């Protein structure tokens, strides 16, 4: 038997042992990042009903759109984890929506070089469903200086929160934008300064509609879009978004614009 | 067959395949690049050098735009210099094959690399630009250049960014017996020069007009501002329209298509923002059938959403 044949067999054996399906995109980081972000020995299936959408190329490496549209996903959504394989720190976000009935989540990311992108969804049986996309990119998005610094009054605009509330086919859609540099800590002499925690809250309920942690791949001035099944909250003030950055700043507002 | 012999044979096979590969790559890289430009006369003394409606690629060397030149009793007026030094040189050779008159003015319509990067081929004191365009070229030129090397590779060899030292003002420019009307617009980049030859009625619309090619938006000050300038263009006394990209036309079809497309694109973004859609959802918007002839519409929609959608989103949200 040739050396290569043996290697191939070993690889197949290893994959079978790990219980992982074959990566549809053939990335060398498939197993490594699954283990890193979902855990060791987890059950994984490749499933395009997760509904990951990313553009085929990054027009702007510092702002690449991503959405996970779960409208075709037949199971309950416990968690959503997204990452960009080839980024210095691949993780984008980790969202927990056990009580919310999440049907869509969207956030822009940075890309350092052409990369596969993953969205993994944990169902009620404890199985992770993964969908993948690929983004071509000139790159450099993670180590590019932030845009906001070039605007002279960024310190006045820092922390500006804008929100919107929409009804979409009986579902509740929330949009929130925050002006924040989201410094990843990967640009020389600029320390990490980013929003790490996001929560969507509903008045009169202890359970969160969504709780989310963000990581280094998240883009500057984040624009969050969330959609939840059914009508949530009666009046617009019933829903609110809360965020906290690593310097302790908190940003909070009712969804739909009423100042609190 | 013994293992030793087999491995020797394999080695020989690998060596020959590798040698062939070396030869082929060497031939590919050494082949002289040639734009093969042709000039088409669209009116007496007025020529257009037409490019394709494709995207920048290593196959086309960025020859995706229309340049042109106008012969006058005093000399030749050139419109745009193309995407690279090599293009500029081929373009100048082509002009010299059509007329004995000297090139006296080179009008660069805007600062985008496909229009302004062939300038090394022309005498520096003949290069003219709007003041705002020159500032934009000064600001963005190096970044554009890096991107162009990435997109078209070896075609860019020896290309450097030249910011013209001479300025044009909006108004009439008398060159020999020709009167050129110079119009400063803003829609495409914030500083766009449009040139109307009043004698022939040939309108060099530059990138204010794309025809059967999706318009590009990285520096537009606003789609509706661009659209309102389309009305002004349509009212000019033209006989021939030379779009920046796409085929030359002798009627108002290009304006009508641009107008329709700009209104559609603005509408897609405004209505998507009003529904709370994310950028990732908007880039998948279906292109209407009536734009079937518009090349690159899906591709440019992804780019335009990246350039413009966050503004529409921001306007549609409420401040907390």
pLDDT surpasses 60 at A19: yes
CATH superfamily of B39-252: Ribonuclease Z/Hydroxyacylglutathione hydrolase-like (3.60.15.10)
Contact B70, B39 (CB under 8 A): no
- Asked if B320 and A164 come within 8 Å (Cβ–Cβ), the reply is no
Query: CB B320 to CB A163 under 8 A?
Result: yes
Average pLDDT over residues A214-218: 95
Mean pLDDT value of segment B170-184: 97
Query: CB of B311 within 8 Å of any CB in chain A?
Result: no
The complex's ipTM works out to 0.88
- How many structural domains does chain A have? 1
CA–CA distance, B296 with A140 (Å, rounded to integer): 26
Residue B218 to chain A, least CA–CA distance (Å): 10
Query: Closest Cα of chain B to A40: distance in Å?
Result: 31
Give pLDDT, residue B9.
60
* Residues in chain A, total: 260
Pairing between β-strand A67-69 and β-strand A102-106 as defined by DSSP bridges: antiparallel
pLDDT above 90 coverage of chain A, percent: 71
Quick: pLDDT tens for B59-93.
999 999 999 999 999 999 999 999 999 999 999 99
CB burial readout B89-109, b (16+ within 10 A) else e: bbbbebbeeebebebbbbbbb
Residue B2 has pLDDT above 60, yes or no: no
Residue B184: per-residue pLDDT: 98
**Mean pLDDT value of segment A14-31:** 82
**B211 by DSSP, 3-state: which?**
coil
**Which residue has tokens 């263009």?**
B233
**Positive/negative CA dihedral, B289, B295, B299, B302:** negative
The whole-number pLDDT of residue A106 equals 98
pLDDT at position A77, please? Answer: 96
Residue A65: its chain B contacts at CB < 8 A? 278-280, 283, 305-306
* Segment B202-260, tens digit of pLDDT: 999 999 999 999 999 999 999 999 999 999 999 999 999 999 999 999 999 999 999 99
Binned at pLDDT 50, 70 and 90, residue B320 comes out as confident
Q: Report CB contact under 8 Å: A59, B280.
A: no
Which CATH number goes with the domain that contains A164?
2.60.40.2470
Predicted pLDDT of residue B296: 96
- Nearest residue on chain B to A221, judged by CA atoms? B310
Structure tokens at B97: 């094959």
Nearest Cα of chain B lies from the Cα of A221 at a distance, in angstroms, of 10
Best probe of the B interface among A225, A226, A237, by most B CBs < 10 A, is A225
Residues in chain A whose Cβ is within 8 Å of chain B:
53-57, 59-60, 63, 65-67, 69, 104, 106, 108, 138, 160-166, 168, 173-177, 221, 223, 225, 253-254, 256-260
Average pLDDT rounded to a whole number, residues A233-258: 84
* Distance between B251 CA and the closest CA of chain A, angstroms: 34
- A4, A50, A54, A55, best to mutate vs chain B, most B CBs in 10 Å: A55
Asked which of A12-16, A225-229, B26-30, B216-220 is least confident by mean pLDDT, the reply is: A12-16
Q: Determine the residue of chain A that is closest to B316 in CA distance.
A: A164
Residue A259 has a pLDDT of: 40
Q: Do A59 and B307 touch (CB under 8 A)?
A: yes
Computed over every residue of chain B, the mean pLDDT equals 93
pLDDT classification of B26: cutoffs 50, 70, 90: low
Exposure of B291 by Cβ count < 10 A (0-12 exposed, 13-18 middle, 19+ buried)? middle
Q: Does the distance separating the beta carbons of A56 and B302 come in below 8 Å?
A: yes
Task: Summarize pLDDT for B135-151 with one digit per residue, the tens.
Answer: 999 999 999 999 999 99
What per-residue confidence (pLDDT) applies to A260? 36
SS3 string of B6-48? HHHHHHHHHHHHHHHHHHHHHHHHHCCCCCCCCEEEEECCEEE
Q: pLDDT confidence of B319, banded at 50, 70, 90?
A: confident
pLDDT at B303: 95
Indicate left, alpha or beta for A75 from its phi (over 0: left) and psi (-120 to 50: alpha): beta
Write the CA distances from A203 to A58, A206, A243, B5, integer angstroms.
39, 8, 16, 80
Measured between CA atoms, how close is B26 to chain A, in angstroms?
26
Burial A29-56 (b: 16+ CB within 10 A, else e): bbeebbeebbeeebebeebeebbbbbbe
Cβ distance A51 to A131 under 8 Å? yes
Is residue A14 included in any domain, yes or no? no
Query: What is the percent of chain A with per-residue pLDDT over 70, rounded to a whole number?
Result: 86
Q: Report the distance separating Cα A241 and Cα A200, nearest Å.
A: 5
pLDDT at A204: 84
User: How many angstroms separate the first and last alpha carbons of chain A?
Assistant: 72
Cα B11 to Cα A249: distance, rounded to the nearest angstrom:
65
Of A73 and A151, more confident: A73
Indicate yes or no: CB of B319 within 8 angstroms of CB of A66: no
Q: Which of A104, A108, A254 is opposite residue B320, by nearest beta carbon?
A: A254
B283: nearest CA partner in chain A: A55
Judge: A177–B305 Cβ closer than 8 Å, yes or no.
Answer: no
The residues in B 113-172 lying below 8 A from A, measured between CB atoms, are: 147, 150
Residues of chain A positioned with their CB less than 8 A from the CB of B307 = 59-60
Structure tokens at A109: 């990311």
Cβ partners under 8 Å of residue A59, min gap 6: B302, B303, B306, B307
Question: From the CA of A67, how many Å to the nearest CA of chain B?
Answer: 6
| pLDDT for position B37 | 97
Q: How many CA atoms lie within 13 A of A42 on its CB side?
A: 23
Are the C-beta atoms of residues B108 and B120 closer than 8 Å to each other? no
**What confidence category does residue B18 fall into, taking pLDDT thresholds of 50, 70 and 90?**
low
Candidates B275, B279, B318; nearest CB to A65: B279
**Mean pLDDT, residues A227-246:** 84
Within an 8 Å CB–CB cutoff, is residue B283 touching chain A?
yes
User: Residue A257: pLDDT band by 50, 70, 90 thresholds?
Assistant: low
Half-sphere exposure of B174 (CA within 13 A, CB side): 2
pLDDT tens digits, B272-312: 999 999 999 999 999 999 999 999 999 999 999 999 999 99
A244 sits in which H/E element = strand A239-245
A5 inside domain: no
Q: Over 50: is that where the pLDDT of A52 sits?
A: yes
Nearest to B320 among A161, A174, A225 (CB): A161
| Domain range for A215 | 43-254
How many contacts (CB atoms, under 8 Å) link A and B?
86
Nearest to B115 by CA among B93, B139, B146, B148: B148
Q: Using a CB–CB cutoff of 8 Å, tell me whether B3 touches chain A.
A: no
Q: Inspect the interface and report whether the beta carbons of A163 and B310 lie closer than 8 Å.
A: no
Residue A73 predicted with pLDDT over 60: yes
Residues of B in contact with A166 (CB under 8 A): 275-276
- Contact B280/A162, CB-based, under 8 Å? no
pLDDT band, residue A41 (cuts 50/70/90): very high
Q: How far is A8 from chain B (nearest CA, A)?
A: 21
Query: Tell me: the pLDDT tens digits for A138-193?
Result: 877 776 666 555 555 777 889 999 999 998 889 999 999 999 999 988 888 888 99
List the single residue in A60, A223, A259 with the smallest CB-CB distance to B320: A259
Give CA torsion, residues B78, B83, B85, B86, to 10 deg.
-100
């Amino acid at each position: 038997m040739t050396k290569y044949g043996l290697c191939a067999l070993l690889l197949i054996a290893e994959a079978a042992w790990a219980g992982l399906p074959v990566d549809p995109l053939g990335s060398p980081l498939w197993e490594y990042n699954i283990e890193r972000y979902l855990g060791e020995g987890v059950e994984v299936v490749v499933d395009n009903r997760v509904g990951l959408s990313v553009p085929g190329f990054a027009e702007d490496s510092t702002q690449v759109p991503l959405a996970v549209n779960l409208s075709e996903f037949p199971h309950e959504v416990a968690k959503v984890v997204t990452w960009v394989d080839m980024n210095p720190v691949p993780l984008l976000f980790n969202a927990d929506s056990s009580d919310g009935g999440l049907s869509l989540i969207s956030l822009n990311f940075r890309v350092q070089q052409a990369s596969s992108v993953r969205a993994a969804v944990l169902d009620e049986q404890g199985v992770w469903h993964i969908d993948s996309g690929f983004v071509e990119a000139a790159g450099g998005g993670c180590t590019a200086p932030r845009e906001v610094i070039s605007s002279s009054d960024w310190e006045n605009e820092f922390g500006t929160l804008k929100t919107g509330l929409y009804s979409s086919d009986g579902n509740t859609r929330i949009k929130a934008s925050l002006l924040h540099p989201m410094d990843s800590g990967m640009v020389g002499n600029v320390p990490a300064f980013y929003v790490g925690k996001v929560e969507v809250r509903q008045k009169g309920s202890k359970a969160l509609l969504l709780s989310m942690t963000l990581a280094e791949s998240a883009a500057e001035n984040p624009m969050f879009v969330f959609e939840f099944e059914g009508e949530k909250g009666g009046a617009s003030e019933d829903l609110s978004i809360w965020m906290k950055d690593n310097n302790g700043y908190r940003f909070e507002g009712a969804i739909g614009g009423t100042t609190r | 067959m013994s293992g030793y012999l087999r491995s020797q044979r394999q080695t020989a096979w690998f060596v020959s395949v590798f040698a062939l590969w070396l030869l082929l790559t060497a031939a590919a890289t050494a082949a002289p690049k040639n734009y093969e430009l042709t000039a088409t006369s669209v009116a007496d003394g007025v020529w257009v050098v037409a490019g394709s409606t494709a995207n920048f690629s290593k196959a086309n060397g960025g020859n995706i735009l229309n340049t042109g030149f106008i012969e006058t009793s005093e000399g030749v007026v050139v419109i745009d210099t193309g995407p690279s030094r090599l293009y500029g040189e081929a373009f100048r050779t082509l002009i010299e094959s059509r007329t004995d008159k000297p090139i006296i003015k080179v009008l660069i319509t805007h600062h985008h690399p496909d229009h302004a990067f062939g300038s090394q081929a022309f005498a520096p004191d003949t290069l003219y630009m709007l003041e705002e365009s020159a500032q934009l070229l000064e600001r963005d030129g190096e970044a554009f250049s890096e991107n162009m090397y990435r997109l078209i590779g070896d075609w860019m060899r020896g290309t450097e960014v030249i910011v013209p030292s001479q300025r044009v003002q909006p108004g009439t420019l008398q060159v020999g017996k020709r009167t050129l009307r110079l119009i400063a617009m803003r829609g495409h980049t914030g500083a766009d020069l449009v040139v109307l030859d009043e004698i022939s009625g040939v309108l060099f619309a530059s990138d204010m007009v794309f025809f059967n090619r999706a318009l590009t938006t990285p520096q537009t000050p606003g789609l509706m501002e661009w659209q309102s300038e389309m009305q002004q263009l349509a009212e000019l006394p033209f006989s021939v329209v030379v779009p920046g990209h796409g085929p030359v036309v002798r009627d108002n079809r290009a304006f009508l298509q641009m107008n329709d497309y700009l209104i559609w694109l603005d509408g897609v973004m405004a209505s998507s923002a009003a529904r709370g859609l994310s950028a990732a959802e908007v880039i998948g918007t279906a292109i209407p059938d009536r734009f079937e002839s518009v090349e690159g519409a899906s591709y440019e929609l992804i780019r335009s959403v990246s350039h413009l959608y966050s503004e529409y989103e921001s306007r549609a949200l409420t401040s907390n």
